[in-house]
Structure 1
């Protein structure tokens, strides 16, 4: 006689539980046990949907990449404001937790590697910032001779360094705007 309950979207429940754990408690709290407990499913359900825990984390990374690629600046009146807004949207506790897991787990990195150099998710963050800078160039907010790829790397790297040392989130909005303005000052 079967036990338990039918699950309409067990995979979705598991992934949402992982995002919630990362956002609330960080990467160290993400375990197969914490995921199954938070999602309310048996541990076997996790292994039915994912080859192993690295495959589960890789699925979380892929979902985060999709989220990052869809980010666009909300209302902004300058390049600095648009970039700061995108950085604040990209660098969430979930994203930062997944970066640390991708760095620290070879199995995850192998699964999400697209053959390019770099750290998973941070490359996507750099692309999102570069896209905003390029758009800023088109409307005259950024100088035509600005080195957009280098600026994007500097901005993304700075955002990561400022957030990685703390509690897993970016500093306050004023600090973000200040470092963005400092890096962009010569290119506006």
Structure 2
């Protein structure tokens, strides 16, 4: 419910969006239940009506974000043959970082209970890095069939390199630190220098 007693639709998504704005503005230290609900324009107790506690909220925020990333990555294979391999792979790689990725990761790492819940959900099949890695590999294999990626390339290894690097950058970056995106772009460029954006004769 809103402060005036009017039902709010999409409460969880609204709270997640508000949390990302708080994180981008104030960093992990500024994220509290009150800060999130104030940012969302909701009653102060609303967060606890939908989540067990702040750790549960943080865990669900991370899982929600990875679910969105996995859904986006799942569309990659259908885009084989469009634009260039480097452009498509760069977009997929940068999506893993996102605008608030480092801040969300830092927040989760600062809350061991939330981290444990996230890992538990992934172990039970919630979409995470493995699903994204599988979609990127499938995309590269689709491009390989079109002749835009050499047949000698190990697509699974390339996908692992992209996802592992993004994970490393998320774990080692910090909200106010250097932007890790340029390093990820450089990696993709290095990995795709041997690709051929036209059919192999």
State the TM bucket, normalised to the shorter chain: 0.7 to 0.9
Unpaired runs of 5+ residues, structure 1, are none
Cα separation, 1, equivalents of 2:166 and 2:63 = 21
Is 1:149 aligned to residue 156 of structure 2?
yes
Cα 1:126–1:96 change in 2 (3 A) is farther
2:134 aligned with 1:133: no
Q: Distance in 2 between matches of 1:170 and 1:186?
A: 24
Residue of structure 1 in register with 2:33 after alignment: 32
Q: Secondary structure at the match of 2:45?
A: helix
Structure 2: segments with no counterpart, 5+ residues: 197-201
In structure 2, what is the Cα distance between the partners aligned to 1:55 and 1:180? 35
Aligned mates of 1:23, 1:121 — CA distance in 2: 22
Which residue of 2 is the match for residue 115 of structure 1? Answer: 123
TM-score (norm 1): 0.75
Summarize the Cα distance change of 1:62–1:154 in structure 2 as closer, same or farther, 3 Å threshold: same
Which one of the candidate residues 172, 179, 182 is aligned to 2:187? Answer: 179
Superposed, which structure 2 residues align to 1:11-160 within 5 Å? Answer: 11-71=12-72, 72=75, 76-112=82-118, 113=120, 114-115=122-123, 121-160=128-167
Equivalenced residue count is 181
Using a 3 Å threshold, how does the CA distance of structure 1 residues 127 and 181 change in structure 2: closer, same or farther?
Answer: same
Q: CA 1:23–1:122 in 2, change beyond 3 Å: closer, same or farther?
A: farther
Provide the C-alpha distance between the structure 2 equivalents of 1:141 and 1:111, rounded to a whole number of angstroms: 40
Change (3 A) 1:40 1:66: same
C-alpha root-mean-square deviation of aligned residues, in Å? 3.1
SS at match of 1:8: coil
Maintained 8 Å contact 1:26/1:97: yes
Q: CA deviation at 1:35?
A: 0.6
For normalisation by structure 2, the TM-score amounts to 0.71
